[in-house]
Structure formats: structure tokens, C-alpha cells
Amino acid sequence: MGMNIEAVRRFFVDACYNSAPLSKKSSAAKNMINFFRAGAQNPSVAKAIAGNETNKTFSLPVRACQQWFYNYNILKKHPAVKPEYQKFEAVYESMYPRTGRLREALISKSRISFSKVLPKMSAAEKTALKNA
């Protein structure tokens, strides 16, 4: 049973963007819960989807206005979402405990992208991230 990447992406987009113009925070919370549940099958991919979609938002000035999206970090703290987020994080941390810092740096620095191929990271950069 594989992870349906498009469905996980749709849950994230529905939570952060499609619910916001209508001010449906409860709907956004439900979609974010579904995102974390589905994303628990492959947390690295789910985090990359969240980072990629968030980067797309900030590259479009019109959609980056507050009224057009719910902040991913705020939705993670929503009382209904928090238990699912904690389960998701536990799975994420248990996957590869020794490479956690490297994966986090790759995702946070947008080195993983579904729309383009990025240049290979040098061995020195990888070593610096692992030892940081």
C-alpha cells in the first residue's frame, strides 16, 4: 500500500489555501489532520510537499496575503490537529534518527523540490550538516 502523493498534496492545499478565504478554520483543521494521517506513511515526502507548497505561496505576492492562506505552523498548534501532528513527528523522528538533521536541512533549505532538479550537494556540505 503506497502513499498517494497527490492526495496528500490536496489535503495540504485544501487546509492552507482553499479554506482560508471562507474563514473555515474547522475545515482547515480537518484537512490538516488528514494530511498528517496520510503523510505518516512517508513523513519525508509529506514535509517536502508542505515546504514546496509554502514556497510556491510566497513566490506569488497575491496569494501570500494573510487572508488567502492559513499558516501551516499555526494549524499544527490547533487543538484538534496537535495530537495527529505529534504522531506524525514521532514517525518522522523514528525513521532515520542518525540522519534527522540532514533531512531537516535538506527540506528547510528547499533542496528537495517536485518541480525541478537541483544541483547535487557536495560531500563537504553534507558532512557539515550532519555534524552541525
> At a CB cut-off of 8 Å and minimum separation 6, what does 55 contact?
110
- Domain assignment present for residue 128? The answer is no
Higher-confidence position of 45 and 56 = 45
Do 46 and 88 contact (CB within 8 A), yes or no? yes
For the chain, the average pLDDT equals 76
Rounded to two decimals, the pTM is 0.65
Do 31 and 15 contact (CB within 8 A), yes or no? yes
What pLDDT does residue 86 have? 93
What pLDDT does residue 61 have? 54
- Domain assignment present for residue 114? The answer is no
Domain count, the chain: 1
How far the first Cα of the chain sits from its last, in Å, is 36
- Domain assignment present for residue 90? The answer is yes
- Domain assignment present for residue 129? The answer is no
**Residue-range definition of the domain harbouring residue 85:** 5-100
- Domain assignment present for residue 122? The answer is no
- The closest alpha carbon to 37, from 90, 91, 88, 92, belongs to 88
- Domain assignment present for residue 110? The answer is no
Task: Please say if the pLDDT value at position 15 is more than 50.
Answer: yes
